[in-house]
Structure 1
Amino acid sequence: MRKALVIVSALLLVAFAVQFVLAAVGGFTRPAGEDAYALHSLNGMAVIPILTVLTALFAALAKAPGRLIALAILPIGLVVLQPLIAMLAEASTDASGVSTPLGLTIGGLHALNGIIAVHVVVGVHRGARKLAGPVPADAGVAVRETEPA
């Protein structure tokens, strides 16, 4: 279970890195239509939540220390918060649908929350690697013992 925790937490880090790339794709898509952020939404509302729950589950199954389990659970709340922040930012437009300073500030919190979530997942991954123990120097190398002559 400890190796599974290392693997799934690494996959979660990759998914977060991809999420930032997909946000940039949405931001640079021209013309910016309704589907500019479709991949960002799919990754953020399906892949990342699934990997986040799996990370927390594997931390518990690996009998990780309570602090590491709590750290693994924390991104679930941060991930749930993300679409709420985005909806609040979208709702903070003026009557003609133009962004307001308040809406833009709230939108910035969406990015900040994502950065915090990544930071937490880095801590989880480091803790998972430490829990799994050091990799032996001869890992993956078959050593054949011979009898003394």
Structure 2
Amino acid sequence: MRRLFVIVSGVLLAAFALQFVFAAVGAFTEPGGDDSYALHSITGMAIIPALCLLTILCAVLARAPGRVVGLTVLPLGLVILQALIAMLAGAFTDASGASTPVSLTIGGLHAVNGIIAVHVVVGVMRAAKMLADDVPVPQGVA
């Protein structure tokens, strides 16, 4: 089960990395529109949350220490925060739906939160590898 925890956390990391690619696809699609971000939306709202839940399950079944399980739960919370940031940014558009300086600033936090989530998932994967190799997971890792 510990090797599966490593594999699933690696797949989760790959999905998070692909999110940046899918965001760039949306940003550089001409003409742009809501459909430009379809891959980003589907991955962020369905695939990544499902992988987060699977990773949490694997951590529990691998009998990971509590702090590792807690670290494994954190990406799901950050994914929920991503959706909230996107909704909040949308709430600050003008009457025609165009971006405002406030909505753009809040939207920028969506990218920052995504970077933080990737770093957390790297930590999850590092902890999973240590657990699979029967190496004690130091406090700083998880």
In 2, Cα distance between the equivalents of 1:99 and 1:73?
Answer: 33
- Residue aligning to 2:101: 101
The DSSP-based 3-state class of the residue aligned with 2:34 is: coil
CA offsets 1:112-145 (integer angstroms, 9 cap, x no match): 11111111000000000000007xxxxxxxxxxx
Residues 1:86 and 2:81 aligned together: no
TM-score if structure 1 supplies the norm length? 0.87
Name stretches of at least 5 consecutive residues in structure 1 with no aligned partner.
135-149
TM-score if structure 2 supplies the norm length? 0.91
In 2, Cα distance between the equivalents of 1:96 and 1:120?
Answer: 37
How far has the Cα of 1:96 moved from its partner? 2.7
Write the mapping of 1:1-149 to structure 2, written as runs, cut at 5 A. Answer: 1-133=1-133
In 2, Cα distance between the equivalents of 1:25 and 1:120?
Answer: 24
- Residue aligning to 1:145: none
> What is the aligned-residue identity percentage?
68
How far has the Cα of 1:41 moved from its partner? 0.3
Code of the aligned partner of 2:13:
L
Give me the CA root mean square deviation. 1.0
How far has the Cα of 1:36 moved from its partner? 0.6
In 1, Cα distance between the equivalents of 2:108 and 2:28?
Answer: 17
How far has the Cα of 1:99 moved from its partner? 1.1
In 2, Cα distance between the equivalents of 1:104 and 1:60?
Answer: 39
